[in-house]
Every structure is written in structure tokens, then in C-alpha cells.
């Protein structure tokens, strides 16, 4: 039995892919989202005089590692610049991030982990040019909205073995990943609990120097204030990531940010700076400031 149209049908199924004019296919290989190696941004400012030539990053390519102006943060300068932290647990990755193994002149090796700003709002704020994150080696940090521990792991690197990170996450599923990550990082204390109810974990958390909040809830300013009243020392600092759509999807992002700043001021916070998280996060801002700032004594009139 003959099939007169069989050859025509076979030809149709073997036609090459055609892209019509004006159509850009999604998922282009090598896209920038999630790519650890990214171009240098204004926030990548290192300390002068801290440059040391080291080797690492892809088969011995030469890389220059500089100390960033934020203590505990580094810049790896090679073909592409990357923000990074010194790995507290050498040989271990947390979220399949790129690691850079470098060798000092005395033969000792140091490992750094690339800090991806598309997966960390704190890294995005640093690249956005925030003046101070108030976290450094030895700091005690309360992290609200820890998720699976991506950013928490970098804060763990940053504060080092003499610091501590209390990581609060409500979701049991993300909490499992957080607990697994903390098993290898002794300076991380995972707390699977609702950040709206700090009284439930008050016996686990001591007084802290900084609170980082990334809870993305309509009442996130109130959540921050509640935790600060329990755990943040007077004169301590806060860093809060604000997602405009989570608070009011009908208002402009600028109006939402201004409204949240006013709420913070009403709760004894003193906002000091605000930076956008573009282009890494859309309609996000990071606000940094102090809590219960002591009043300066008035000088007696002579």
C-alpha cells in the first residue's frame, strides 16, 4: 500500500528550528541570572594596599583577591570580578557556588566562596554601594527569614569563628536545609520558629549587635521591632530588605519604601541609609540604621 504523503510528512518533522523576527528565545545559555561570575559594580571597592596576587579560579588562571571596604568581605578580580567570603569550612559548598582556592607565598592555601547577588539580598546591597552593613568578624547577628541558609552561610564566613549567627526560619522544609548547613558551621544556630513570636526562642538567643531581616511580610517592620525589643542592644544596628509588592501591590515602590521608613522611625529605629537592590531584585530596597541611639549629652553653657 502506497503512502503518497509520507515523504512530505517526514520532511515537515525534520525542518530546522526557525525563530521569527522579534522573537528572543527564553533561557538563553549563559544568561546573567544566577551566574556567579559577574561584572564589577560600583559596590566592589577594595581597600588600597590590600592587593595580593594569588592563583585559582578555573585551572590556575591568575586572580587578584582584595579585601573589600566591608571587613570580612573580599573581591576576586580575574576575567570577571566577583564578591566573595573566606570559606569557614574549606572544601564545602552550600548552594553549588563557585569556590576559589588560592595559595599564599608561604605555601598555605585559603579558600573563598563566590557570593552571588542574584541569590542574596545582602550581597546585592553591598554591590549597590551601602556604606555599612555593621557585620564584621566577631559580630553577633540575628538573621530573620534565613530560608535554606544561602546568605546565612556567607554571614557565617563573614563573622568568623568568634562570631555567631542566630538564623530564624519558619518553613520546616527550608529549615531542614538550614539545619544541614549549620551542622558543619559551628557559629550558626538554626531556629525553626515564627519570627512573629520571638518569646518562643528567647532562651536560645543572646543580645546581638545586628539584626538582618528578610521576612517579606506586610508587617515586617513590626516583626523587626518585636525582635529588636528582645535581642538588639541599645545602639545596635539593623539591616532590612523591603519587598514593595509584599506590603502594598497597589502603591509605587517609592511610596512603600517611604511608608516603611516612617514605621521604623516610630519603633525607635533611626534609618541612616537606603539603597535599591536593582538590577538584582526588582522593587526591593535595603534600609540600614541604628536602634535606640543614645542621646548625646548637652554641653553645659559656659
- What does the DSSP assignment read for 237-289? EEEEEEEHHHH-TTS-HHHHHHHHHHHHHHTTEEEEEEEE-TTTSTTEEEEEE
Q: b/e string for 227-249 if b means 16 or more Cβ within 10 A?
A: bbeebbeeebbbbbbbbbeebee
Rounded CA gap, 186 and 287, in Å?
A: 29
pLDDT of the residue at 79: 83
Give yes or no for a contact between 260 and 223, defined as CB atoms under 8 angstroms apart: no
List CB contacts of 293: < 8 A, sequence separation 6 or more. Answer: 234, 235, 270
Domains of the chain: 52-114 (no CATH), 121-291 (3.40.50.150)
Residue 25 confidence (pLDDT) above 60: no
Range 116-123 average pLDDT: 95
**Banded model confidence at residue 78, pLDDT cuts 50, 70, 90:** confident
**Banded model confidence at residue 299, pLDDT cuts 50, 70, 90:** low
Rounded CA gap, 157 and 295, in Å?
A: 34
For the chain, what percent of residues have pLDDT higher than 70? 78
Give yes or no for a contact between 95 and 119, defined as CB atoms under 8 angstroms apart: yes
* pLDDT tens digits along 155-208: 999 999 999 999 999 999 999 999 999 999 999 999 999 999 999 999 999 999
Range 116-140 average pLDDT: 95
Q: What is the pTM of this model?
A: 0.78
Range 237-255 average pLDDT: 92
Residue 220 confidence (pLDDT) above 60: yes
Q: How far, rounded to the nearest angstrom, does the alpha carbon of residue 226 sit from its chain's CA centroid?
A: 22
Place of cell 560600583: 42
Range 212-237 average pLDDT: 94
pLDDT of the residue at 41: 42
Q: Which of 213, 234, 85, 228 lies closest to 155, judged by CA?
A: 85
List CB contacts of 195: < 8 A, sequence separation 6 or more. Answer: 144, 145, 168, 170, 213, 215, 223, 227
Residue 43 confidence (pLDDT) above 60: no
Give yes or no for a contact between 206 and 252, defined as CB atoms under 8 angstroms apart: no
pLDDT of the residue at 261: 94
Range 148-161 average pLDDT: 96
3 state DSSP class of 74: strand
To 10 degrees, the CA torsion angle through 259, 131, 278, 81?
Answer: -170
Q: What does the DSSP 8-state code read for residue 72? A: T
Residue 5 confidence (pLDDT) above 60: no
Amino acid at each position: 500500500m502506497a503512502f503518497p504523503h509520507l515523504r512530505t510528512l517526514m520532511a515537515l518533522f525534520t525542518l530546522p528550528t526557525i525563530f521569527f523576527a522579534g522573537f528572543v528565545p527564553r533561557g538563553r545559555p549563559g544568561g546573567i541570572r544566577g551566574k556567579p561570575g559577574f561584572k564589577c559594580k560600583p559596590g566592589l571597592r577594595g581597600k588600597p594596599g590590600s592587593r595580593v596576587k594569588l592563583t585559582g579560579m578555573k585551572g590556575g588562571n591568575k586572580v587578584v583577591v582584595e579585601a573589600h571596604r566591608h571587613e570580612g568581605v573580599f573581591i576576586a578580580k580575574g576575567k570577571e570580578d566577583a564578591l566573595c567570603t573566606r570559606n569557614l569550612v574549606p572544601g564545602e559548598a552550600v548552594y553549588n557556588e563557585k569556590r576559589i582556592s588560592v595559595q599564599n607565598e608561604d605555601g598555605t592555601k585559603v579558600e573563598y566562596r563566590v557570593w552571588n547577588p542574584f541569590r542574596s539580598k545582602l550581597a546585592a546591597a553591598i554591590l549597590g554601594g551601602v556604606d555599612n552593613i555593621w557585620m564584621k568578624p566577631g559580630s553577633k547577628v540575628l538573621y530573620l527569614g534565613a530560608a535554606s541558609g544561602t546568605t546565612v552561610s556567607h554571614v557565617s564566613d563573614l563573622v568568623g569563628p568568634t562570631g555567631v549567627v542566630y538564623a530564624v526560619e519558619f518553613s520546616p522544609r527550608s529549615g531542614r536545609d538550614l539545619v544541614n548547613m549549620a551542622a558543619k558551621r559551628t557559629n550558626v544556630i538554626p531556629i525553626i520558629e515564627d519570627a512573629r513570636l520571638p518569646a518562643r526562642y528567647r532562651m536560645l538567643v543572646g543580645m546581638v549587635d545586628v539584626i538582618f531581616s528578610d521576612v517579606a511580610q506586610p508587617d515586617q517592620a513590626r516583626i523587626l521591632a518585636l525582635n529588636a525589643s528582645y535581642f538588639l542592644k541599645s545602639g545596635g544596628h539593623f539591616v532590612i530588605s523591603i519587598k514593595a509588592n509584599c506590603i502594598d501591590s497597589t502603591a509605587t515602590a517609592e511610596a512603600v519604601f517611604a511608608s516603611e521608613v516612617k514605621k521604623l522611625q516610630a519603633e525607635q529605629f533611626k534609618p541612616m541609609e537606603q539603597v535599591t537592590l536593582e538590577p538584582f531584585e526588582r522593587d526591593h530596597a535595603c534600609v540600614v540604621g541604628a536602634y535606640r541611639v543614645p542621646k548625646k549629652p548637652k554641653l553645659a553653657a559656659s
